[in-house]
Structure 1
Amino acid sequence: MARVHKRKETSLLREVFDAIPDGIIVLDLSFCVLSINDSAESIFKVSRKKVVGRSCFEFLPQEIVDIAKRSIREERSVFGDTLTLPIKGKERITAQAVASPIFSQKGNPIGIVVQVKDLSGAKFLSEKTLQEISTHTFEGLIAGLAHELKNPLGGIKGAAQILKSETTSPDTIKCAEIIIKEVDRLNLLLERLKGLQPFARETFEPVDIHEILSEVIYLESKSSKKDINFIENFDVTLPPVIGDRDSLKQVFLNLVKNAIEAVSVNGTIEISTRWITDYKLKGENAISIDIKDNGIGIPKDNLEKIFTPFYTTKRKGSGLGLFLAYQIIAKHGGAIFVESEPGKGTVFRVYLPVSKQEREDIQSGFLTYG
């Protein structure tokens, strides 16, 4: 009975440990990892199984290691400054770390606990004020814009058409044509803004992500004037995700269209799916959908603005597609990232959560997918 109680207590402590939103890393005095929680796995993109028992120097940035060393040396909690830290590859996060020594009952230091708060999300949102607007307010904004602008634009276009038909002056005709063209462009923008209102109509249900991707590839391969080489690299063990099918399809249509625009006539676009083993979304298992092209790439300065509404480098672009994609994926509890190198290509990575129970059911053979 005592053993059962002990196991339950241990299990509960583990669940509490993993539920902490900040990354927690427990070290011994030789700086080997004794334990990490789910949030630490997510922040540093490591697997608990791979890092426990190994030196923290292998994955912790030097700035955090220095804080841990100082906490042991001074035998007190040490609060670090807000830092921009490299994690893996070119990815960086904004974080703040606190390190505290662990003492035995006799008062001797026996280890260190490091707490890391990932501030990247807060920083990202603060730089994109429109993305802070609630869904309800955002829908109201769109509806109001459409209502207020539709009638005046119709009047302006009508007046320009009359002016064009009643004048013989080439300059006046040219000005009227410009007015008509710009009104048409604004009307198109309004239609695109209306497309930013999927939220109230969303229906969340199991969705086969491969079915959506196959449809997108088929549609774009038929409609594109370029001879694109599409490569499919799908992990057939992936389960459905819980989401709104139409919204997710809109995201991947947009990302594939962007890739097509970026590549040459005989360009290559690879679409792959996989389990993520070194990253979690709020403690949940996740899958990744990668859309990779060998196109012109995106300059570094543009990458920071790429999900900002109305930001575009395209002559006929509205700057709404990627903003909408970001909104939809965030609504699904996921994340979207971009990596690019000018002259070599771009990869968009979409992470979507899969519940722990769903993955366990698949591994146990309870769920099958054709």
Structure 2
Amino acid sequence: MENTAKQNEALAGEQKFRRIFEDSMDGLILWNDEYQIVDINYSGERIFGLSKDRLFGKPLLDLFNSVEEKKQEIMNHIEQAMQIGKQCSTIVIEMIDGTVKHFDYSTKRRIVDGLNLTVIIDVTEKAKMQEQLRKSDRLNIVGELAAGIAHEIRNPMTALKGFIQLLKPSIKAEHSMYYDVITSELARIDSIINEFLILAKPQEIRYQEKDVCQIMRETVDLLSAQAVLYNVQFYTEYEDSLPFVYCEPNQLKKVFINLIKNAIEVMPSGGQITIMINKTEEQNIQICIQDEGMGIPKDKIIKLGEPFYTTKEKGTGLGLMVSYRIIEEHNGTIQVESEEGKGTLFKIMLPLNHYIKS
């Protein structure tokens, strides 16, 4: 009787462990001292997109066949865990579908005889939130500095522009080029100051129901002369009878100008800019602006929109930063897709509703 009671108690404990193992929100992997997978729970199967039947008895590193370059890093983690008993690490993996995932993982040696446990936690959302907080901190700092910087620069700028205008009648023909360079550079400084002021102080915003296609048409007309100078052609395709979007039209136009000017400037030898606007099944208006420039490396795409980060030799990064903020205030998103040597696609999503962030 006593043996039977002990057996029942052991069976109940095993079943309890099995329920905890299978129902855990984290990925759990059991493996032996030969680095062979003994068991994996449902969350682990979901993380790696592989079934338990396919993994049973296979080498532990088979879980990471899609990321060969990470195998040595993972092997180092396992070996350290086997030496000191426990090890914790973090890893970033690009999945098969192209998404980037962040994982915390820890390994405990010999949780029972001959078995080791690795716990994998998907912390992608946490990593995204931390990155957003870092960006927000940088934006706040820029906003605090912007007003003071703009004020200090604008005062001498006003004097410089005034005296340059007074000197214009006395400038000889052979020196006219110098005058043009000075005035164009002063205009460039002035545009940078304006970008600072947009970040530094709240703008008066009046949201209205507007036709996004019409705003885009006006933007393309405005930039047509610059496009001709760069030998750039526009190809536009707007879906018919699109619903109006509740927006601030001047701010949207500013975003379109920034993105299209960038597209023109990355094609100094000419090319085509494709602009498409359509409605999606998710009740968004989608605006796509695609160039045929040299493209942007993957490691640089994620930095776009950060203060002072730019891929242009003479850029400040403020134009894209302001554009991201404007679209965010419209409850929209900007996504960037790029392939080196083939160009870049900016995809703006604007929701078809009347709720706007205050």
Query: Is the counterpart of residue 159 in structure 1 residue 166 in structure 2?
Result: no
Separation in 1, partners of 2:235, 2:257: 16
* Deviation readout 1:168-211 (Å, 9 max, x if unpaired): 6955x6555543443233223222322335756579x9x99xx6
Give the secondary structure class of the aligned counterpart of 1:85. strand
Partner of 1:348: 346
Residues 144, 200 of structure 2: 8 Å contact kept: no
Residues 270, 291 of structure 1: 8 Å contact kept: yes
Which amino acid in 2 is paired with 1:297? M
Partner of 2:295: 298
- How far did 1:145 drift? 2.3
Once the two structures are superposed, the pairs formed by residues 312-351 of structure 1 within 5 Å of their partners are 312=310, 318-328=316-326, 336-349=334-347
Residues 35, 52 of structure 1: 8 Å contact kept: no
- How far did 1:295 drift? 0.9
* Deviation readout 1:60-97 (Å, 9 max, x if unpaired): 856497699779989965312x544323466656x452
List alignment gaps of at least 5 residues for structure 2: 1-23, 31-36, 56-62, 225-231
Residues 33, 54 of structure 1: 8 Å contact kept: no
Once the two structures are superposed, the pairs formed by residues 166-181 of structure 1 within 5 Å of their partners are 166=170, 170-171=174-175, 175-181=178-184
**Which gives a bigger RCO, structure 1 or 2 (Cα 8 Å, sep 6+)?**
1
Q: How many residues align?
A: 302
Which amino acid in 1 is paired with 2:288? I
Question: Which residue among 83, 102, 105 is the counterpart of 1:98?
Answer: 105
List alignment gaps of at least 5 residues for structure 1: 1-16, 19-23, 277-285, 359-370
TM-score by length of 1: 0.54
CA distance 1:328–1:216, change in 2 (3 Å): same
TM-score by length of 2: 0.56
* Deviation readout 1:220-275 (Å, 9 max, x if unpaired): 344443652234589x9xx9999988756644553355445557555433456657
CA RMSD of aligned residues (A): 5.7
Query: Is the counterpart of residue 85 in structure 1 residue 87 in structure 2?
Result: no
Partner of 1:35: 43
Which amino acid in 2 is paired with 1:346? T
Partner of 2:259: 255
Separation in 2, partners of 1:334, 1:121: 17
Residues 28, 117 of structure 2: 8 Å contact kept: yes
Once the two structures are superposed, the pairs formed by residues 210-229 of structure 1 within 5 Å of their partners are 213-225=212-224, 227-229=233-235
Residues 288, 349 of structure 1: 8 Å contact kept: no
Once the two structures are superposed, the pairs formed by residues 141-160 of structure 1 within 5 Å of their partners are 141-160=145-164
Separation in 1, partners of 2:204, 2:78: 53
Which has the larger Rg?
2
